[in-house]
Amino acid sequence: MNQRKIIHVDCDCFYAAIEMRDDPSLAGKPLAVGGAADRRGVIATCNYEARAYGVRSAMASGHALKLCPGLLIVKPRMDAYKAVSREIQAIFRDYTELIEPLSLDEAYLDVSDSPHFAGSATRIAQDIRRRVSQELHITVSAGVAPNKFLAKIASDWKKPNGLFVITPDRVEAFVAALPVSKLHGVGKVTTDKLERLGIRTCAELCEWSKLGLVKEFGSFGERLWGLARGIDERVVQTDSRRQTVSVETTYDQDLADLPACLAQLPQLLDELARRMARLDASYRPDKPFVKVKFHDFTQTTLEQAGAGRDLDSYKRLLSAAFARGNKPVRLLGVGVRLHDLRGRHEQLELFAR
């Protein structure tokens, strides 16, 4: 099988970059895009001048202003960001149709069979970066590697405005030195557990057998075994389908206790029902879930297979989720996991012919 060539492209502080492009007076100043501090807003993104003060995405705007009193916070202009994203996607399509958007500002490209630049993924990535800069006047970083896991890590390696390439012959040495926290799907809880087991790098992870990791981490242990060796067989998905539908609200005043949270459920579920009604018949609702973000920004999500999607079922889920923190709440969310029925329908059509 031919060696895959995957590019991960990630725009540098995308929203903030567009704001600075469209209003040059903002350039060079600490800038964030997000909600107003007096409305309990949250930072969506910020430029590197703001990051130097410790400002980060998902941070409360009020806290960001304490870290950086001179911070300029502008309201998001989603229509402008979506328009630029479409222009970037159009550039991608000049090189390949195998594109998997992850958000407005990042995507995977499979250029394994691209005829451009004699099939050189590195030169394709260089040209994409050049065109985005010249045509759209923002910068993107890119990573080139034999799979999605490594390409995404590579795109972050020389940010901002950088390009990093991991060739097949460099994969083993590169991955061996990686902290396990860099592995796809490894969050804080898994990182902490790995560290308790004396595993901090992929080289140390490689000392474990697949069976040993499965015993410790269940089915994810097999995934860890592969990633520690630079193995990732996920393909670039060109047809991204919904996995959930949800609605969430950040409250101007913290919800003090569980009864205050439960009182918000009917309104949230009404909006969820409206969003569910807009789905087509290729989706089937599955597990309900709730999300709770407490006043200190810790958060939890709880779902339950087989549970109903009625008010009482969500009340039980919310009560259990609230008990995990038992403190004032700033954000509540409700949602439903979805089954995609379209793949099954297409398979039945295939065999019916």
**Structural domain harbouring 46:** 15-77
Are 278 and 189 part of one and the same domain? Answer: no
Query: Annotation-wise, does 10 bind a ligand?
Result: yes
Are 216 and 264 part of one and the same domain? Answer: no
Domain end, chosen from 77, 106, 126, is at 77
- The pLDDT of residue 20 is 96
- Total of domains in the chain: 3
Are 257 and 338 part of one and the same domain? Answer: yes
pLDDT in tens, 19-54: 999 999 999 999 999 988 877 788 999 999 999 999
- The pLDDT of residue 161 is 94
Are 223 and 248 part of one and the same domain? Answer: no
Place of tokens 């018949």: 281
Is 124 among the domain residues? no
Q: Do 26 and 19 form a contact (C-beta atoms < 8 A)?
A: yes
Q: Do 154 and 184 form a contact (C-beta atoms < 8 A)?
A: no
Are 212 and 279 part of one and the same domain? Answer: no
The residues near 153 (Cβ < 8 Å, ≥ 6 apart) are: 143, 145, 166, 178, 182
Is 117 among the domain residues? no
Is 101 among the domain residues? no
For the chain, count helices (H), then strands (E). Answer: 15, 12
Q: Cα separation of 109 and 69, whole Å?
A: 40
Q: Which one of the listed residues 106, 216, 222, 233 is annotated catalytic?
A: 106
106 is catalytic: yes
CA dihedral of residues 83, 87, 90, 95 (deg, nearest 10) = -140
pLDDT at position 353 over 70: no
Are 249 and 313 part of one and the same domain? Answer: yes
pLDDT in tens, 109-138: 999 999 999 999 999 999 999 999 999 999
pLDDT at position 174 over 50: yes
pLDDT in tens, 256-310: 999 999 999 999 999 999 888 888 788 888 899 999 999 888 888 998 888 888 9
Is 274 among the domain residues? yes
CA distances from 166 to 27, 78, 154, 322 (A): 33, 34, 7, 44
Is 114 among the domain residues? no
Is 44 among the domain residues? yes
Q: How far apart are the first and last CA of the chain?
A: 30
Query: Annotation-wise, does 105 bind a ligand?
Result: yes
- The pLDDT of residue 349 is 37
- The pLDDT of residue 240 is 66
Tokens (6 digits) for 213: 């990791």
- The pLDDT of residue 352 is 37
Are 271 and 338 part of one and the same domain? Answer: yes
Tokens (6 digits) for 198: 């004396």
The residues near 171 (Cβ < 8 Å, ≥ 6 apart) are: 145, 146, 150, 230
- The pLDDT of residue 139 is 96
pLDDT in tens, 86-100: 999 999 999 999 999
Is 93 among the domain residues? no
pLDDT at position 225 over 70: yes
Which CATH number fits the domain that encloses residue 268?
3.30.1490.100
Which CATH number fits the domain that encloses residue 20?
3.40.1170.60
The predicted model gives 341-352 an average pLDDT of 45
Tokens (6 digits) for 173: 């040495």
